[in-house]
Amino acid sequence: MKRAIVTGANGFVGSALVQELVNNGIEVIALDLYNNNIPVDDKIVFIQFDMNNMSAVAKRLSDLKPDLYYHLAWFGMNGKTRGDASVQIKNTGWTIDALQQAEEIGCKRFVGAGSIMEYETYYAVTEQGNKPGINYTYGAAKLAARALCMIKGAQIGIETVWAEITNAYGAGENSPRLINSTLRKILADEPLEFTSGTQNYDFVYITDVARAFRLIGENGKPFYHYLIGSSDAKPLKEFLLKIKSTVAPHKEFLFGDVPFTGVNLPLECFDCSATEKDTGFRSEIPFEEGIKRTMDYIIKEKM
């Protein structure tokens, strides 16, 4: 791989992937609406990119002759739009459009960004009598995008690979997701209330996520899907207690006050052995170290 496209390059994972690729001598064509988080480097070309009008940049992309197309752009990952079916259906369509564009501009390989929510969604919608929550709309769209990409990729003859993130966290995140919001509540001295925490979870630090995407792009087998995780999944309460002991030993963590209405995935769903075997990836940042780095980032951000 000499030159790669990254859509969603301004996002939390996208910007980390751009930096990872550049650090390993790979030129990057960074696509997004904005470029305030994209690293500045001679190896990076930023092109403003709107998923509603992908064809507007097709000629320029083709002239740059990329080898690989990472599609991370996805609108509505948090907040109300996460459960908006019309928005999530558009994301699925845009993912297929990106795959088609990758083939048309001469890329040999396409890597799509999936989520552990695909597994949760499958269990939630196939269990008899279950009433899935609205946030599974996001997972359903990701699952549909993965299936349709595999079909379309086989049809048009482009190597298609799917990378599923368990739960990325780390320095640079500004979303309301669990790790980020918990650390900010600690600093703000807000109540720390959680579910009972018996559901299985996994977290993987952002630099490990970026490295996994690079290795999946380089070494992943065509038409395979690979989970990006820490290889140390466990009940959520154990992760939360590690946060407490690492950065908030004197804070009270209250378990059971928040109802859990989701799906508790079996631990085998978090198995990253295929990723390790085929790509050479294994996470390097221990959870406690990742929490320290993330807290340091948030503290500096607030200064």
pLDDT tens per residue, range 65-83 = 999 999 999 999 888 999 9
Contact 8, 14 (CB under 8 A): yes
Buried b (16+ CB within 10 A) or exposed e, 63-85: ebebbbbbbbbbebbeeeebebe
The pLDDT score that the predictor gives to residue 303 is: 67
| Low-confidence stretches of the chain (pLDDT beneath 50) | none
Q: What is the pLDDT of residue 179?
A: 97
Residue range 195-246, pLDDT digits in tens? 999 999 999 999 999 999 999 999 999 999 999 999 999 999 999 999 999 9
Q: Is the pTM of this model over 0.85?
A: yes
Is domain 3-165 given the CATH code 3.40.50.1820 in the classification?
A: no
Q: According to the 3-state scheme, what is the secondary structure of 167-226?
A: CEECCCCCCCCHHHHHHHHHHHCCCEEECCCCCEECCEEHHHHHHHHHHHHHHCCCCCEE
Contact 224, 289 (CB under 8 A): no
Q: What is the structure's pLDDT at 124?
A: 94
**Helix, strand, or coil (residue 280):** coil
> What pLDDT sits at residue 53?
95
DSSP 53: G
SS3 1: coil
- Phi, psi for 79 (deg, rounded to 5): 75, -160
Asked if 139 and 115 count as a contact pair (C-beta separation under 8 A), the reply is yes
Q: What is the pLDDT of residue 78?
A: 86
The predicted structure's pLDDT at residue 261 = 84
For residue 265, CA distances in Å to 62, 113, 295 come to 42, 20, 28
